[in-house]
Every structure is written in C-alpha cells, then in structure tokens.
Amino acid sequence: MADEFEGPTSNLSEIGGHWDPRPVHYHGAGELNRIRVAPGRKVAWLPGVMWPNTPEECTADHLDTSWVANGKVLLCNGCGIDAT
C-alpha cells in the first residue's frame, strides 16, 4: 500500500540513538488535538534528551520540530516522534 508509512529509514546509531519499538497510534493531547499517525511511526531515543511528553500526551505544535542526524530525520520537539 503506497500510503502506509514504512517506518524510520535512518539509523540513529550514528548519533548514539535508537528507535523505540513501542507502537504509536496517535499524536496530541486531548480529544480535540489528537491526530492519528501512520502505522510504523516511531519515537527516537537520543543520548541526553528527555522528551517532555509521550506522543499521546504531546502538546507541541506540528511545526515545533528539529532536524537531527545531519538533517536526515525530523523529530517533534515535544515527544521525539519521527515527523520526517
């Protein structure tokens, strides 16, 4: 299926991180802000970074993101979910 997310393609080990295998079903806190995410979306674990929220409780705006891994991966600053 062409619309299905295939999961993170970048290896975070080059920056000392890894992808959390826990499935994520939605992003955003509260019923009104909750957005369903594509199957396969993962949360990045990076050394020295503690995300303030889980994806399901994230209050960050959809543009509140940062590029990591030399610009290969875009992450939510509120929870670390892959937004690439």
CB 57 within 8 A of CB 27: no
pTM of the complete model: 0.84
Residue 66, pLDDT score = 95
pLDDT grade for 10, boundaries at 50, 70 and 90 = confident
Q: Which long-range contacts (CB under 8 A, 24 or more apart) does 64-73 make?
A: 68/12, 68/15, 68/17, 68/44, 69/10, 69/12, 69/14, 69/15, 72/10, 73/8, 73/10, 73/12, 73/44
CB 65 within 8 A of CB 79: no
Domain chopping of the chain, boundaries = 17-76
Q: What is the tens place of the pLDDT at every residue in 27-84?
A: 998 888 889 999 889 999 999 999 999 999 999 988 999 999 989 999 999 999 999 8
Residue 8, pLDDT score = 57
CB 81 within 8 A of CB 68: no
